[in-house]
Amino acid sequence: MAGLITARGCPFRCSFCTIAQIAYINRPIESVLNEIRHLIGDLGFEYLNFADGHFFAQRARVLQIIDRMHEESHDFKWNAGARPETLGKFRPHELERIMNSGLQQIMIGAESGSDVMLERIVKDAKPEDIVETARITGEYGIRLSLSFMSGLPYETTEDLRKTIDVVEKVVTLNPQAKVINPIYQPIPGAPSYDQMLELGWTPPETLEAWGESISWNQQIEDIECFPWMKPAEFDEYVEVFQNSIFGKVRTIHFTGQERSADVSVSGTSGELGVSVAEAAKNEGTAASD
């Protein structure tokens, strides 16, 4: 698989993300097409990963890339990142072209199933958009990877419950859905970093401490309490989390016994997670760390 980007930055404004803070710049379309021709025609790659912050940001441009490659008989498989509402914005005949163009997998930063949280993090998307994306990809047999974050500033147990509801709908609509649920980690430069400081969060003091704190492996049990919650509220949050689909996925995701069999982690494909179907199948067989 070969990776390439067609544009730098992202035109959206999610409050936890630093990509939104840099200028959004397109590569000239001919430069993108030439790179694809080179990767496929000269180097023999059959699978491309469009690693843009948001590959589908411009509908017409995506269709142009797909159509031009099709006209030139360049057949290839591909992955790309999208936003929760992206697919819903394409007309049916456009979706048909995209879904039948070799697309294998879409990665989505879904973040939360709570409309209140999505508004708070300025995601500019709705929980229904996440569900609709699962329906469309499920219908076309496209793999879907979704990331939902826990511990976003001001998240409540009620918000978490709404996210769990959405995840359950997603995995019903697309049995190939893979879900990860990292704990939110503030990044300097993002608006929500300042929010966390105002809430009393203490940032790491050294580069080494930052290195240790940035980890996909951070688990809910590693957190003492979110700064905006009372201890009893946090206990309830953890209980709901652990007894949900998230508890099942995380248990297996980070268990050495299951890692090789059930967890796919690949920097090149962008795939990271364990399918919930696999999690459910293996429930009870995974040992806790």
Q: Tell me the two tokens of residue 51.
A: 């690693």
The minimum distance between CB 21 and ligand SF4, in angstroms, equals 9
Nearer to ligand SF4, 15 or 157 (CB): 15
Q: What are phi and psi of 180, to 5 degrees?
A: -120, 155
CA–CA gap between residue 101 and residue 98 (Å, rounded): 5
Q: Phi first, then psi: what are they for 274, rounded to 5°?
A: -130, 135
To ligand SF4, the closest distance from the beta carbon of 205 in angstroms equals 27
54 vs 143, beta carbon nearer ligand SF4: 54
Residue 285: strand, helix, or coil: coil
Smallest gap from Cβ 164 to ligand SF4, in A, equals 21
Angle between helices 231-242 and 157-173 (to 10 degrees): 10
Nearer to ligand SF4 among residue 105 and residue 282 (C-beta) = 105
Would you say 20 or 62 has its CB closer to ligand SF4? 20
Q: Give CA–CA dist 251/245, Å, rounded.
A: 10
User: Computed over its alpha carbons, how large is the radius of gyration of the chain?
Assistant: 20
Nearer to ligand SF4, 124 or 165 (CB): 124
Q: Say how far apart CA 62 and CA 201 lie, in whole Å.
A: 41
Closer residue to ligand SF4 in complex, CB, 12/246? 12
Give residue for tokens 């936890």.
Answer: 16
Q: Nearest approach, Cβ of 109 to ligand SF4 (angstroms)?
A: 5
Beta pairing, strands 47-50 & 77-82: parallel
Residue with tokens 């959206």: 12
Residue ranges in contact with ligand SF4 by CB under 6 A? 10, 12, 14, 17, 19-20, 53-54, 83, 109
Q: Going along 27-76, which residue ranges are E strands?
A: 47-50
Q: How many whole angstroms separate alpha carbon 128 and alpha carbon 166?
A: 8
| Nearest distance, CB of residue 183 and ligand SF4, angstroms | 16
CB 160 within 8 A of CB 241: yes
Decide whether 13 or 38 has the Cβ nearer to ligand SF4: 13
Closest distance to ligand SF4 from the beta carbon of 143 (Å):
19
Report the candidate in 289, 157, 178 with the shortest Cα–Cα distance to residue 234: 157
Q: Which two tokens stand for residue 165?
A: 């509801």
Q: Which is nearer to ligand SF4, 14 or 167 (CB)?
A: 14
Instruction: Provide the minimum distance between the beta carbon of 4 and ligand SF4 in the complex, in angstroms, as a whole number.
Output: 17
Separation between Cα atoms, residue 160 and residue 19, nearest integer Å: 25
Q: Nearest approach, Cβ of 54 to ligand SF4 (angstroms)? A: 5
